[in-house]
Structure 1
Amino acid sequence: MNLSAGNVTIGFIGLGVMGRSMARNLMKAGYSLYVYSRTKSKAEDLMQAGAIWKDSAADVARNVDVTITMVEYPRDVEDIFLGPLGIVAAAKPGAYVIDMTTSSPALALRIYEESQSRGLKALDAPVSGGDIGARDGKLSIMVGGEEEAFESVLPVFQAMGSNIVYQGEAGAGQHTKMCNQIAIAANMMGVSEALAYAERSGLSPTRVLKSIESGAAGSWSLSNLGPRIIQDNYEPGFYVKHMIKDLGIALQSAEAMGLETYGLSLAKTLYERLAATGEESSGTQSLIKLYR
């Protein structure tokens, strides 16, 4: 099947901070879109632009060629895909089902196997890039599943991302995202500690950032979230509660492989402490508050 715009219909389920922008970029690329979210008001601007609302994930799936999900937790993914009224039961044979949520590699494999048994083509394709990457259509997309299915869906991914890499068999996309989250979590501790040190020593954090962001200390988090910290802007590009979820998945997966992950364990502990202070719906850059 040619999955370029104009040839297929796409369903998008989950219209949160990132999902709404991803869905909008699919429409900008010319795709016809069916949408569903637990909160219908989140779909209003998309519906005004021509998206078609359906009352459940199953209603979306049975009407489209490609179903994409971007929800919150693995339990949501499991229910939406594998429940009795889920996507796998509702989608038409030959359809593509793609989970872009950061979820469990083991669950991705289960979804793939169930989809195969019903003649569906499943991919796990979590993303990185936060709200800015979603808005600008420049997400990094990490894909697991059959390579032939990946090649077919590539035009769809290209409407949402700029760094799209096939990682391997089912679950490989989610494992790659765990690598991403482990690196980000440790990096965010470094960014927070560096800026807290700058503040405590009487330096200008803005000047410090100017000096260090283009050198060996440079990172996406330092350049994009460092300025938010300096401005006391803790609006979520990515929620603390979602980081805790992701780090929990990574820790569980690492333990199953017999891998010690010292930075991951510490980061999860710190983010749990931060959430306990009422910051669970703040952006991950609010980690600086523990140091202050």
Structure 2
Amino acid sequence: MNVNRIGLIGLGIMGKPMANNLLQANHNLGLYARNPKSLRSFSANNIEIYNSPAELAEHCDITITIVSDSPDVENIITGNDGIIYGAKPKHLVIDMSTISPEVTRSLAHQLAAKDIDMLDAPVSGGEQGAIDGTLSIMVGGKADAFNYAFSLLQVLGQNIIHIGDHGAGQVSKACNQILAAQTIAAVSEAFLLAKSSGVDPNKVRDALLGGFANSKVLELHGKRILDNNYKPGFKAELHFKDIGIALKSAQENNISIPGTEMVEKYLQKLVEQGNGELDSAAIAKIVQGE
């Protein structure tokens, strides 16, 4: 890959360590943040700070965005001073946010009219995966754009899969969020059964980790649940948003996913209780009646 500067917009729990990994890989980096406070820790010589997404895109060859929701991405790309108004033809936008597949396809279409390409590349692996550069990256978009960006994505993740056309990455991420949320609920129920039966759930977890029921959720979130430690790696309010995206996609495709509907209720209750800032492993608090 021969690029002069990579732009990154979004310096939250995920974006900040991703920026650090790009710097460690000796990329020249352009940054824009809606909250200037998030820029304070960046002072390397190969960083430029820009005042708008348009200005950033004008001076970069590739722009990565990783923000919270569909309206945020739309505003950054097509809003006032958005990327679309600064990017030159052949610019590549890589949106690593988790948003609606429908919105992704619309944005890709609008960018294509300006000869700007786009990949939707949502990630899984949480804050630790972002720090370690071991994220799973699910990519939608043209194959040639994927091939062009692959070496850059390798700085940020390890399991990097081209799923299909625009929006396919977001569909894959919705599937990921369904599995993660329902598995948290299942682990919570298993621990509840163990405790109510007078059995130590810590020992149950140790046993299950060596068998067919083992999973990353049991390993990582199971420990969080047992320790009652819900410091956010991925906030419940964001998982609630993602499950909403999955349910909307299911509705658009005329299918029913009742397990997902149930776990949405758990997340909704968690958020309504004022616990949306907790890690989504706190689904256990609802399942276990805390």
TM, length-normalised to structure 1: 0.95
- How much does 1:204 deviate? 2.5
2:144 is aligned to: 148
1:198 is aligned to: 194
1:256 is aligned to: 252
Query: Residue 140 of structure 1 contacts residue 162 of structure 1 at CA under 8 Å; is this kept in 2?
Result: yes
Match of 1:78 among 74, 83, 87: 74
Match of 2:126 among 104, 118, 130: 130
- How much does 1:184 deviate? 1.0
2:262 is aligned to: 266
Match of 1:223 among 219, 222, 232: 219
- What CA distance in whole angstroms lies between the structure 2 residues aligned with 1:173 and 1:151? 15
2:107 is aligned to: 111
Match of 1:281 among 270, 277, 281: 277
More off after superposition, 135-144 vs 184-193: 184-193
Counting only pairs closer than 5 Å after superposition, residues 45-84 of structure 1 correspond to structure 2 as 45-48=41-44, 50-84=46-80
Note if 1:28 corresponds to 2:54.
Answer: no
Note if 1:91 corresponds to 2:87.
Answer: yes
- How much does 1:44 deviate? 2.0
- What CA distance in whole angstroms lies between the structure 1 residues aligned with 2:141 and 2:27? 23
- How much does 1:13 deviate? 0.4
Count of residues in Structure 1 that have an aligned counterpart in Structure 2: 288
More off after superposition, 14-23 vs 47-56: 47-56
TM, length-normalised to structure 2: 0.96
Work out the percentage of aligned pairs sharing the same amino acid.
38
- What CA distance in whole angstroms lies between the structure 2 residues aligned with 1:69 and 1:47? 20
User: Which of structure 1's runs of 4+ aligned residues deviate more than 6 A?
Assistant: none
Q: Which runs of 5+ in 1 are unaligned?
A: none
Query: Residue 27 of structure 2 contacts residue 46 of structure 2 at CA under 8 Å; is this kept in 1?
Result: no
Q: Which runs of 5+ in 2 are unaligned?
A: none
Query: Residue 47 of structure 1 contacts residue 53 of structure 1 at CA under 8 Å; is this kept in 2?
Result: no
- What CA distance in whole angstroms lies between the structure 2 residues aligned with 1:60 and 1:67? 8
Note if 1:188 corresponds to 2:189.
Answer: no
CA RMSD of aligned residues (A): 1.3
Query: Residue 247 of structure 2 contacts residue 257 of structure 2 at CA under 8 Å; is this kept in 1?
Result: yes
- How much does 1:49 deviate? 6.8
